[in-house]
Amino acid sequence: MMEKLDLITFGRAAVDLNATEYNRPMEETMTFTKYVGGSPANIAIGTSKLGLNVGMIAKVSDDQHGNFVIDYMKKSGVDTSYIKKDTEGRKIGLTFTEIKSPEECSILMYRDNAADLYLSVSDFDDEYIKRADTILISGTSLSQSPSREAALHAVDVAKRNGVEVIFELDYRPYTWKSEQESAVYMTTVARMADIVIGTRDEFDVMENGEGNSDEETVKELFEHSPQLIVIKHGVKGSRAFTKDGEVIEGTIYETKVLKTFGAGDSFASGFIYALKNDKSIKEALQYGSAAASIVVSKHSSSDAMPTVADIENLMNSHVG
- Bridge partners of residue 167, in order along the sequence: 137, 196
Give the phi and the psi of residue 135 in degrees, each rounded to 5: -120, 135
HEC assignment per residue over 40-53: HHHHHHHHHHCCCC
Alpha-carbon span 86 to 65, nearest angstrom:
12
In one letter, which amino acid is 170? D
- What order of strands is seen across the sheet that includes strand 14-19? 32-37, 14-19, 94-101, 104-110
In one letter, which amino acid is 313? N
Q: What is the pTM of this model?
A: 0.96
User: Which are the contacts of 249, defined by CB distance < 8 A and separation ≥ 6?
Assistant: 237, 238, 239, 285
What 3-state DSSP class applies to 195?
Answer: strand
Nearest in space to 12 (alpha carbons), one of 45, 39, 46, 36: 39
Alpha-carbon span 28 to 71, nearest angstrom:
31
For residues 274 and 288, is the Cβ–Cβ distance under 8 A?
yes
Q: 3-state DSSP: the chain helix, strand, coil percent, rounded to 5?
A: 40, 25, 35
Predicted local confidence at residue 127, as pLDDT: 97
Instruction: Give 73-106 as a DSSP string.
Output: HHHTT-EEEEEEEESS--B--EEEEEEEETTEEE
- The Cβ of residue 149 has, within 10 Å, a number of other Cβ atoms equal to 13
Predicted local confidence at residue 22, as pLDDT: 82
List the pLDDT tens digit at each of the 320 positions of the chain.
Answer: 568 999 999 999 999 999 898 888 899 999 999 999 999 999 999 999 999 999 999 999 999 999 999 999 999 999 999 999 999 999 999 999 887 777 777 889 999 999 999 999 999 999 999 999 999 999 999 999 999 999 999 999 999 999 999 999 999 998 899 999 999 999 999 999 999 999 999 999 999 987 789 999 999 999 999 999 999 998 888 999 999 999 999 988 887 766 666 689 999 999 999 999 999 999 999 999 999 999 888 877 788 899 999 999 999 998 65
Alpha-carbon span 232 to 142, nearest angstrom:
21
For residues 138 and 39, is the Cβ–Cβ distance under 8 A?
yes
For residues 49 and 2, is the Cβ–Cβ distance under 8 A?
no
Which residue segments constitute the domains of the chain, with CATH numbers given? 5-13+39-91+112-317 (3.40.1190.20)
Q: Where are the beta strands (DSSP E) in the chain?
A: 5-10, 14-19, 32-37, 54-61, 79-86, 94-101, 104-110, 132-138, 164-168, 195-199, 228-232, 238-242, 247-249
